[in-house]
Amino acid sequence: MAETQHVLPALKVDLTWSQLYAKAMHKDLVAISTAVNKTQPTTSGPKMKKDAEKLRDQLKSANQTVDELSGDAGLRPARIKK
């Protein structure tokens, strides 16, 4: 019980930070997508594609972590790890 009391405030801080960070990142991604759709930025091409692939992989991993946290919080059944 005492361990939970020490972990809970840090957990709340990390989750709040993550939520704010995700909102800011979403705003930036919308702006980037809009700019790419409207014009051909000078940096578009292989480098931008590689960076977007890297971001997609990182977000996929983050989504898996959110799934685990959701399961731990009892919001949905925890996934069975293979």
- Decide if 79 contacts 68 (C-beta within 8 A): yes
Provide the residue type at 35 as one letter.
Answer: A
DSSP result, 13-44? HHHHHHHHHHHHHHHHHHHHHHHHHHS--TTT
Backbone dihedral region for residue 74 (phi beyond 0: left; psi -120 to 50: alpha; all else: beta): left
pTM of the model: 0.74
User: How many other C-beta atoms are found inside a 10 Å radius of the C-beta of residue 70?
Assistant: 14
Q: What residue spans define the domains of the chain?
A: 1-39, 43-82
63 — pLDDT class (breaks 50, 70, 90): very high
Question: What confidence tens digit (pLDDT) does each residue in 28-56 have?
Answer: 999 999 988 888 766 678 888 899 999 99
